[in-house]
With several copies, the nearest count.
Chain A
Amino acid sequence: MEPMKKVEVVIDSVHLNKVLEILEKQGVSGYTVIRDVWGKGERGIMAGDELTDVFKNSYIFTVCTEEVAKRVAESLRPLLSKVGGVCIISDVLWLVH
C-alpha cells in the first residue's frame, strides 16, 4: 500500500471538461467521475433541473502523489473562484497491484 492523496472536486457540470483537462495537464494517472450529483453552496441550490440541465453538478476524484495534488489544487483555484465549486484533499493508501 502506497501513501497517496485523494483530490475531490464538485463543480457545475458544464465545467467538468475544464477540470478534466487540468487533471490531464497535471499528469494524474487517472480519475473517476460521478455525473448528476446535486447540492448546495454559496451559489445556492444546484438540484439538477431535468429540462434545462442548468444547476447540475459533477463529482470528480483522482488519486495521485502529494506534489501532483498540490499542482492540481493550484491550477484549479482560478477556475473554482470564477465558477464556484469545492476541492478537498485527503490522505489515502493506494493498493498497488
Chain B
Amino acid sequence: MGLDLLLQNILNPPVLMFMLGLLAVLLKTELEIPQPLPKLFSLYLLIAIGLHGGYELSKSGLTLDVLKVLLLAILMAIAVPIYAFFILRLKLDVYNAVAIAATYGSISAVTFITAGSFLNSLGQSYGGYMIAAMTLMESPAIIIGLILLSLFAKRNSNSQIEWKEVFRESFLNPSVYILMGTLLIGFITGEKGWKAMEPLFGTLFKGMLAFFLLDMGIVAGRRLGEIKKVGTFLVAFGILLPIFNASLAIALAKLFGLSKGDAFMFSVLCASASYIAVPAAMRLSVPEANPSLYVTMSLAITFPFNIAVGIPLYYFLIDQLWG
C-alpha cells in the first residue's frame, strides 16, 4: 500500500497528538485532560460537523444520491451487528457477544472526523449528507443487539429489557441528538448562519481536533494495559472486522456509484466502532457483559488502528477502484 499515504496520514498534527497522548500513558507521565474538558471538545466537534454538514446540505439540496447513501448507511448499520454477533458467538457467551457486536455495528464520530481532515489534506471533500448518514448509523446497532439478546439469552424475569427506555436511549442519546439538531440548524440558517459560526466552528476545527485527539490518546493508552485480558481472538477481531466492514462498504459504494469522497467516508463509518453511545447503553441493558472487553476493544484496538492505519488503507483501496 502507498507508504506515502501512510506517512501523509501519520505526519499530521492531529494523529501525532493522538500518539503523544498514548505515549504519555506508556511513559507513566501524569498528563491528563480532566473532565469536562473532553466533553467540551467532543461537543464542539459534533456541533461543528453538524453545522457545517447542514450548510453543505443547504447548498447541495436533498438529491437522489443523498437518499442512496442514507439507505446504504442504514443497511450496514443493521447488517454489521448481526454478522458480528454470530462470529463472536464462536468464542463468547451471548451477553458479551451482543455488547461487542453492537459496539462494532455503531460508529465513532471522531474517526469519521479524522478521516475527513485526512481527505481534506488530500484536497478532496465529501457531501454534507454523510453527516446525516453517520447520525443514522449510530443507534440501530443498539436495538439489533438487544433483539439478538432477547432471542438468544435466557434471562430471569427481573432483567427484562425496558424497550421504551432502550429506544429513547438509542435514538435520543446526546451525540445523535446534537448532530441531528445542528445539522438542521446549519441547513436552515444556510450561508448567513455559517458565516457567523465559521470563525469558531470552522476555522478552529483542525486545532480542536488535535487537542481532542491528545485526550483520546491518553484514554486509549489507559486501556492498553487491558489488551492482554482481551485475548488474541478479540484483538484479531478488533482489527479484521473493521477491514472487512470497510471492504464490504467499498464494494457497496462502488455498486451504487457513490462519489470517491463519499465512498471513503462511508467505509470509515462502517469500519469504526462506538466507544460512547453503545457502551453507555450496554452497561444499562446488558450489565452481564464485561465493559472492559467492549470498551477496550473499541478504544484501545480499533480506534488507534483506524486512525493510524485504517484510514490510509481504506483510502488506498478506494483510490485503486475509483482512480
Physical contact A–B (CB less than 8 Å)? yes
Whether, in the assembled complex, B161 has its beta carbon less than 8 Å from a beta carbon of chain A, the answer is no
Q: What is the size category of the interface that chain A forms with chain B? A: 10 to 19
Could you tell me if A52 and B279 are in contact, using CB atoms closer than 8 angstroms? yes
Task: Tell me the minimal C-beta distance from A39 to chain B in angstroms.
Answer: 15
Could you tell me if B275 and A52 are in contact, using CB atoms closer than 8 angstroms? yes
Task: Tell me the minimal C-beta distance from A37 to chain B in angstroms.
Answer: 14
Could you tell me if A51 and B216 are in contact, using CB atoms closer than 8 angstroms? yes
Task: Tell me the minimal C-beta distance from B235 to chain A in angstroms.
Answer: 19
Which residue of B38, B158, B279, B291 is within 8 Å of A50 (Cβ)? B38
**For chain B residues 206-229, which have a beta carbon within 8 Å of chain A?**
215-216, 219, 222
**Is chain B's interface secondary structure helix, strand, loop, or mixed overall?**
helix
Chain A, 19-58, contact with B by CB distance < 8 Å: what is the 0/1 string?
0000000000000000000000000100011111111000
* Contact of A12 with B283 at beta-carbon distance under 8 Å, contacts A50-B35, A82-B159 already known: yes
**For chain A residues 46-80, which have a beta carbon within 8 Å of chain B?**
48-55, 78
Whether, in the assembled complex, A14 has its beta carbon less than 8 Å from a beta carbon of chain B, the answer is yes
User: Which residues of A are at the interface with B, using a C-beta cutoff of 8 A?
Assistant: 12, 14-15, 44, 48-55, 78, 82-83
Given contacts A14-B284, A52-B295, 4 further A-B contacts (CB under 8 A): A50-B32, A51-B275, A52-B280, A54-B291
Could you pull out 5 A-B pairs where Cβ atoms are within 8 angstroms? A49-B295, A51-B216, A54-B283, A55-B291, A83-B287
